[in-house]
């Protein structure tokens, strides 16, 4: 009951000195508002990036060839320096072959759902009179289409027959259909697109139209008509056109749901040691999307917390301001304190009264700062193109820290008031 009475006394005192109370809370408001805004932006970006990476396949493992470093060089002083890459171009013997991938799938049938392969042919412009569409032509296998989960709007996907016979068929985006076929997906099926790549002329028959999805990591200033989208053709077709029949320098393993991708990543590297253990120039290197997500989340969280701590320094300034005003308030209310002590108020009740007043000031400033921070953070996140997700942890931390500041910076003035001699306080003019 005594606590409620002290809260009421604190609110009455603040209402009696509105401007002074507002100026006192200003440092708390700015500090809490800054922390909440920064953590809101940080959490929103982190969650958005994490969701985008997970949609790309959290269980995917990317495996590629990496040049081995030269042996460590030892100077006369005994210092060791690790040499850089050897710099030798890849030969036919260095590439990952279809036989290696088949053996990998046979060795781990329960862990591997599919293997994604792709071969970039190049960028070009498909034209039809005055109409055009910018495209990237990429050869893909069934595993690639499985991993990327393309949503077909019309037509069919690439078939095994397309892959085996290296047919010149293609999956195109709805953006390309908008540019070349006025958005009519039905009319696009069976039609051809003509492109020139490396001074060679190619014609592809459209067999399917997929829904274009912009990458969350890309920032393009191109207009809607100039956006470059992917045209997917059979992998063997792409290899024939790029004259690459030696193998692959990189592939992606789509693991099963129950497989720990981080652990299996090491298993894949160990598996390829039998092929590349004696290779003097290249070795296999693997990384999982799950490990990248973890590293990315940790890095973004660390940056947000570091910036929030810097912004939180203003909270200390605000706390000092609270202490200063409380000391002024005690001086102004010396006779009130003397009267209460003369009527039997204990040192503990006097101390509690002024601590509660300090806490109420900090809490009010904290609540205003939280609202301001959420508004500023949400506006900033919206401008950046992300979904606003206020930091719940930041809000809880801010409320707790506001109470802590109130107690910490209010204790000294409150203790000073509690130790006043009632006779001297009553004599104070």
- Indicate whether 161 pLDDT > 70: yes
Bridge partners of residue 120, in order along the sequence: 138
For 243-268, the pLDDT digits (tens) are: 877 788 889 888 887 788 778 888 99
Environment class of residue 287 by beta-carbon count within 10 Å: exposed (0-12), middle (13-18) or buried (19+)? middle
* Predicted pLDDT at 208: 94
- Indicate whether 288 pLDDT > 90: no
Which of 29-43, 76-90, 201-215 comes out lowest in average pLDDT? 76-90
* Predicted pLDDT at 141: 92
* Predicted pLDDT at 428: 57
For 75-87, the pLDDT digits (tens) are: 444 444 444 455 5
Q: What is the mean pLDDT of residues 132-146?
A: 90
End-to-end Cα separation, the chain, in angstroms: 32
The alpha carbon of residue 349 and the mean position of all alpha carbons in its chain are separated, in whole angstroms, by: 50
Q: What is the mean pLDDT of residues 134-144?
A: 91
Per-chain mean pLDDT for the chain: 80
Choice between 381 and 174, residue whose per-residue pLDDT is larger: 174
* Predicted pLDDT at 177: 93
- Indicate whether 312 pLDDT > 80: no
Domain positions in the chain: 2-52+296-427, 67-289
Q: What is the mean pLDDT of residues 86-111?
A: 83
* Predicted pLDDT at 76: 47
* Predicted pLDDT at 224: 64
Q: State the pairing for strand pair 282-288/60-67.
A: antiparallel
- Indicate whether 322 pLDDT > 90: no
* Predicted pLDDT at 335: 78
* Predicted pLDDT at 53: 55
- Indicate whether 171 pLDDT > 90: yes
Give the chain as a 3 state SS string. Answer: CHHHHHHHHHHHHHHHCHHHHHHHHHHHHHHHHHHHHHHHHHHHHHHHHHHHHHHCCCCEEEEEEEECECCCEECCCCCEECCCECCCCCCHHHCECHHHHHHHHHHCCCCEEEEECEEEEEEEEEEECCEEEEEEEEEECHHHHHHHCCCEEEECCCCHHHHHCCCCEEEEEHHHHHHHHCCCHHHHCCCEEEEEECCEEEEEEEEEEECCCCCCCCCCCCCHHHCCEEEEEEHHHHHHHHCCCCCECEEEEEECCCCCHHHHHHHHHHHHHHHHCCCCCEEEEEEEHHHHHHHHHHHHHHHHHHHHHHHCHHHHHHHHHHHHHHHHHHHHCHHHHHHHHHCCCCHHHHHHHHHHHHHHHHHHHHHHHHHHHHHHHHHHHHHHCCCCCCCHHHHHHHHHHHHHHHHHHHHHHHHHHHCCCHHHHHHCC
Q: How confident is the model at residue 39 (pLDDT cuts 50, 70, 90)?
A: confident
Choice between 383 and 78, residue whose per-residue pLDDT is larger: 383
Q: What is the mean pLDDT of residues 97-111?
A: 91
Q: What is the mean pLDDT of residues 180-209?
A: 90
Q: How confident is the model at residue 175 (pLDDT cuts 50, 70, 90)?
A: very high
The alpha carbon of residue 391 and the mean position of all alpha carbons in its chain are separated, in whole angstroms, by: 14
Q: How confident is the model at residue 426 (pLDDT cuts 50, 70, 90)?
A: low
Report the C-alpha gap between 357 and 6 in whole angstroms: 7
- Indicate whether 347 pLDDT > 60: yes
Top-ranked range on mean pLDDT: pick from 57-61, 130-134, 334-338: 130-134
Choice between 126 and 325, residue whose per-residue pLDDT is larger: 126
Which of 53-67, 109-123, 199-213 comes out lowest in average pLDDT? 53-67
Top-ranked range on mean pLDDT: pick from 84-93, 135-144, 213-222, 272-281: 135-144
């Amino acid at each position: 009951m005594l606590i409620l009475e002290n809260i009421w006394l604190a609110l009455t005192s603040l209402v009696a000195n509105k401007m002074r109370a507002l100026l006192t809370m200003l440092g708390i408001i700015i500090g809490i508002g800054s922390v909440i805004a920064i953590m809101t932006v940080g959490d929103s970006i982190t969650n958005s990036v994490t969701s985008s990476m997970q949609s790309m396949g959290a269980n995917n493992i990317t495996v590629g060839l990496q040049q081995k470093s030269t042996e460590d060089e030892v100077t006369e002083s005994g210092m060791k320096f690790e040499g850089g890459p050897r710099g030798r171009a890849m030969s036919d013997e260095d590439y990952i072959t279809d036989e290696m991938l088949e053996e990998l799938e046979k060795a781990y049938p329960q862990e591997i759902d599919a293997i994604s392969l792709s071969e970039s042919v190049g960028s070009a412009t498909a034209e039809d009179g005055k109409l055009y569409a910018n495209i990237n032509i990429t050869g893909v296998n069934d595993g690639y289409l499985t991993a990327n989960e393309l949503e077909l709007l019309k037509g069919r996907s690439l078939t095994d027959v397309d892959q085996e016979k290296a047919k010149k068929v293609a999956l195109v985006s709805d953006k390309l259909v908008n540019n070349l076929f006025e958005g009519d997906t039905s009319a696009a099926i069976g039609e051809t697109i003509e492109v020139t790549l490396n001074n060679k002329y190619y014609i592809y028959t459209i067999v399917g139209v997929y829904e274009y999805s912009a990458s969350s990591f890309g920032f393009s200033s191109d207009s809607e008509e100039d956006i470059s989208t992917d045209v997917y053709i059979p992998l063997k077709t792409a290899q024939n056109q790029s004259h690459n029949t030696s193998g692959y320098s990189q592939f992606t393993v789509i693991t099963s749901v129950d497989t720990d991708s981080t652990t299996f990543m090491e298993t894949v590297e160990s598996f390829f040691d039998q092929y590349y253990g004696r290779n003097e120039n290249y070795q296999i290197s693997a990384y999982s999307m799950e490990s990248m997500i973890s590293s990315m989340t940790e890095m973004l969280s660390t940056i947000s917390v570091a910036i929030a701590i810097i912004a939180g320094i203003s909270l200390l300034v605000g706390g000092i301001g609270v202490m200063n005003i409380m000391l002024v308030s005690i001086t102004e209310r010396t006779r009130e304190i003397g009267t209460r002590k003369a009527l039997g108020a204990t040192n503990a009740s006097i101390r509690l009264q002024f601590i509660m007043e300090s806490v109420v000031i900090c809490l009010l400033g904290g609540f205003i700062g939280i609202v301001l921070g959420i508004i500023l953070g949400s506006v900033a996140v919206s401008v950046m193109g992300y979904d606003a997700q206020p930091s719940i942890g930041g809000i809880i931390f801010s409320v707790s820290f506001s109470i802590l500041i109130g107690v910490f910076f209010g204790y000294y003035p409150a203790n000073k008031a509690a130790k006043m001699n009632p006779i001297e306080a009553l004599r104070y003019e």
